[in-house]
Structure 1
């Protein structure tokens, strides 16, 4: 069993050689959706913070923030 708190960015990868089975359950009748690109780059998070949590360098992050409307 894996529980993700509401609003936490996450992803799952099936590393096995067999199909995976999931039973999602949501705490709301109308669950939301966050697109990772916009969540990371269309914001005012510090470029250094994003660089520490991704494999991107500062130049790439600033370019993506410029395209997606984030604060550089």
Structure 2
């Protein structure tokens, strides 16, 4: 997969077997992504954010309210 610079991306392992991922960057300066704003200040669905962050529904909704997210 190829991701444009600055685009937040992640993968979720749906299967039950171990997975391996290799990450490479095309430059020594890959850029900066503020994860808290990208996750909680966006319109990503709350159940997805809960899976990625291991937080419960109340905590995710509280952070989305503070950082301006929806969903």
Task: Give the TM-score, by structure 2 length.
Answer: 0.58
Q: Give the superposition deviation at 1:8.
A: 4.8
Aligned length in residues = 54
Which structure is larger by alpha-carbon Rg, 1 or 2?
1
Q: How does 1:26-45 map to 2 (within 5 A)?
A: 26=27, 32-45=31-44
For structure 2, the 5+ residue unaligned runs are 11-24
CA distance in 2, matches of 1:59, 1:49: 14
Moved >6 Å (runs of 4+) = none
CA root-mean-square deviation: 2.9
Q: Give the superposition deviation at 1:61.
A: 0.4
State the match for 1:71 in structure 2. Answer: 70
